[in-house]
Amino acid sequence: MSVTLLPLENTMSYPQAATIITSLRHALPYINAHRNRTFVVALSGETVQDNQFPHLIHDLALLGSLGVRLVLVHGARPQIEERLRARGLEMCYQHGLRVTDTQALACVLEATGSVRAQIEGLFSLGLANSPMAGARIRVTSGNFVIARPLGVRHGIDYQHTGEVRRIDTEALRRHLNGQDIVLLSPIGYSPTGEVFNVSAEEIAMAAAAELSADKLIILVDDPGLLDSEGHFVPRLTLEKAEAWLRQPGTIPTHLTKQVAGAVYALRHGVDRVHLVSRHTDGALLLELFTRDGSGTLIDQGAYDDLRSATIEDVGGILALIAPLEEQGILVRRSRERLETEVGQFVVAERDGTVIGCAAFLPFPEERVGELACLAVHPEYRNQRRGDLLLTYIESLAKAQSIQRLFVLTTHTAHWFQERGFEPATVDVLPVARKTLYNWQRNSKVFVKNLS
């Protein structure tokens, strides 16, 4: 059957149109996965001040239109400080906590009111030529945060600084069910009728935990989390995040609070926490609608430790792959062969046992690499470990400037196709690999473009 491409009426080139179509198609599984999920998004006062902020609002509106239940928590630190400065005052901090006196509280109320109105205004935009044309978005705010005074600590009276006592989740759920976007300000209300200045991070954490949110998303200054050497960390387990927090200097100081918040949220029922750049236009959408994401994902740690294999892992790898070799799913590897190739393996380890493995064999001259011997122990399947091993191998390949990753498979074609691999012929294999191709086994070849 021949397919005719319709003229595009000069609006865009075919490559442009093809890119849009491909992106939309790739986003579809994520669109389905995110529908009816609850995301709590923490927007610092700096984020609100950013030039990019209207774009971020458009992206949040898009999430809302796709059925994501959104709770936004805004900060207002720079806006409060600006007002204090205008009155010749300064925010006072003691032991890292803000002291809110009566004058500071007046500035807090003024600043949070103004930021809230600014956000509500941006969500109201519906002009015909704007990205939000036709959207009718309702933003709800209210006395949803129940607070209590921080009180006197170390002899210091924190006055109108409060902490979260609880979140009125029943009210939040009612509004979310009605498809409103809920907007929380960094203030809380006590049953005595007082108003307190509460940290936005604390409110975001508490709201995410009490709602058992699917995601807590924190917009940060960096591309995500950086380690002590300044390297970007795409993914971190809860366990590792806790270990890093215990070792001073492992996490940059300005991100410690966010990682501690992530740990709290994950320990209290939130599925995943994402740290996403507030400076990169579209970073939020990339994080949520692409496989590789854009920021750092911190999750429950069902994913064990992925690491390069050592000679000590040979026994564990053999035990894992032997039954699959029996079934003809994997090619047989002798212990001797594995001992020489073990440096090319990555293993997933849990409690000292190898429960997953994969090998990466690069052919640097042709800029291609092979993914081989991917296996997850049957008891640990369907928890995205296979996915994680693949992502890990892809990052190894990218780091070595490999442009295409190929795999030979007899039983698992669809698994690879669903992850961006496309059917290919033996001809695409590098020469050295082609000569080793086993025609009797007749494996199918799949290739994924990494560039």
Ligand X SMILES: CC(C)(COP(=O)(O)OP(=O)(O)OC[C@H]1O[C@@H](n2cnc3c(N)ncnc32)[C@H](O)[C@@H]1OP(=O)(O)O)[C@@H](O)C(=O)NCCC(=O)NCCS
The minimum distance between CB 389 and ligand X, in angstroms, equals: 7
Which residues within the stretch 394-433 sit at the binding site for ligand X (CB under 6 A)?
407, 409, 411-412, 414-415
**Could you give the C-alpha distances from 168 to 37, 135, 207, 295, in angstroms and in order?**
19, 28, 9, 30
Range in contact with ligand X (rule: CB under 6 A) among 51-59, 79-87, 322-330, 422-430: 322-330
Applying CB under 6 A, among 381, 422, 437, 449 the residue interacting with ligand X is 381
Binder among 324, 331, 426, 450 for ligand X (CB under 6 A): 324
Structure tokens at 5: 């491409």
Contacts (CB under 6 A) with ligand X, residues 267-286: none
Burial of 306: CB neighbours in 10 Å, binned 0-12, 13-18, 19+? buried
Instruction: Tell me the C-alpha distance between 149 and 144, whole Å.
Output: 16
> Is residue 308 helix, strand or coil?
strand
Q: Does position 30 bind ligand X by CB under 6 A? A: no
3-state percent helix, strand, coil for the chain, nearest multiple of 5: 40, 25, 35
Extract the runs of DSSP E, i.e. beta strands, from 200-308.
215-220, 225-226, 232-233, 235-237, 272-277, 296-299, 305-308
Query: Shortest gap between Cβ of 326 and ligand X (angstroms)?
Result: 12
Site for ligand X in 128-167 (CB under 6 A): none
Residue 384 makes contact with ligand X by CB under 6 A: yes
Nearer to ligand X by C-beta: 353 or 412? Answer: 412
216 vs 359 by CB, closer to ligand X = 359
CB of 176 to ligand X, least distance (A): 27
Q: Judged by CB under 6 A, does residue 374 bind ligand X?
A: yes
Q: Which residue is nearest to ligand X (CB)?
A: 386
State the nearest-atom distance from the C-beta of 50 to ligand X, in Å: 36
Taken as a whole, the chain contains a residue count of 451
Nearer to ligand X, 166 or 414 (CB): 414
The number of angstroms, rounded, from the C-alpha of 134 to the middle of its chain's C-alpha atoms is: 29
The encoded tokens of residue 288 equal 């949520």
Q: Where are the beta strands (DSSP E) in 58-144?
A: 69-74, 92-94, 97-99, 139-140
We find the least distance from the C-beta atom of residue 358 to ligand X, in angstroms, to be 8
Is there binding between residue 350 and ligand X (CB under 6 A)?
no
User: Which residue among 224, 316, 386, 430 contacts ligand X (CB under 6 A)?
Assistant: 386
The 8-class DSSP code of residue 212 comes to T
Cβ 356 to ligand X shortest distance, Å? 7
Minimum CB distance to ligand X smaller for 81 or for 387: 387
Instruction: Say how far apart CA 261 and CA 289 lie, in whole Å.
Output: 24
Binding site for ligand X (CB under 6 A): 324, 329-330, 374-376, 381-387, 407, 409, 411-412, 414-415
